[in-house]
Amino acid sequence: MTLQLAEIFYSVQGEGTWTGTPAVFVRLAGCNLACSFCDTDYALKFVASVDEVVARVRAEGGDCPMVIVTGGEPLAQSATAALIDALRADGRRVHIESNGTIDVALPDGVWLTVSPKERLHPAMAARANEAKLIVDGNVPHAWAASFPPATPVFLQPEGNKPANVALAIEAAKRDPARYRLSLQTHKFIGVR
Ligand code: SF4
């Protein structure tokens, strides 16, 4: 089985629950959405088999426990399920970062971050371990309401702009059981 990929690199998770945790990032190519504001380069750079990706993860990150499979939309590729299984068999804790549009049954123990854009599949909202919402001039409360009450919802100010940071902090202070602030810490320290 082959995967279409944009990049594989070893860094530190900069956002959400696992901020500061070293992780190997596997960015799959392609997305099923075409958001006008998208700033992610998910263009196809290379093709590799599942085994080759697992080997590359080891080459980049050694025994690092955490692997983040992201995109684009990582659940849009049919070989992603096999990749998840192979990474777990290699001793990794797999995290998926998805836009939540494609209903895919994920094994227990796989961490799912959902960042909804134009639509959201209810099954993926229910499965999410955390939600990540972009604050850009307003707080998307309607998206937040799509997730179960116990799911942590991270408000991420677009571009780390002060006005968006202020909006996110205000919302979190008003509803502390629902919201947390998530800054893109990797951008502060200049790592990807
Ligand atoms: S869902 Fe995410 S990766 Fe896909 S186009 Fe939208 S912002 Fe970009």
Identify the CATH number of the domain in which residue 116 sits: 3.20.20.70
pLDDT recorded at residue 49: 98
> Is the preceding peptide bond at 30 cis, omega within 30 degrees of 0?
no
Whole-angstrom distance, CA of residue 68 vs CA of residue 66: 7
Q: Which of 15, 73, 97, 130 is catalytic?
A: 97
Q: How many CB atoms lie within 10 A of CB 151?
A: 17
When divided into structural domains, the chain yields a total of 1
DSSP structure class, residue 163: H
User: In tens digits, what is the pLDDT along the chain, a chain of 192 residues?
Assistant: 899 999 999 999 999 999 999 999 999 999 999 998 898 999 999 999 999 999 999 999 999 999 999 999 999 999 999 999 999 999 999 999 999 999 999 999 999 999 999 999 999 999 999 999 999 999 999 999 999 999 999 999 998 899 999 999 999 999 999 999 999 777 766 667
Distance from the alpha carbon of residue 158 to the mean position of ligand 1, in angstroms: 14
Return the pLDDT at 189: 64
Identify the pLDDT of residue 184. 79
Domain with 98, as residue range(s), is 2-188
Q: If we measure between CA atoms, which residue out of 169, 106, 104 comes closest to residue 135?
A: 169
**91 CA to middle of ligand 1, Å?**
29
> Is 121 designated active site?
no
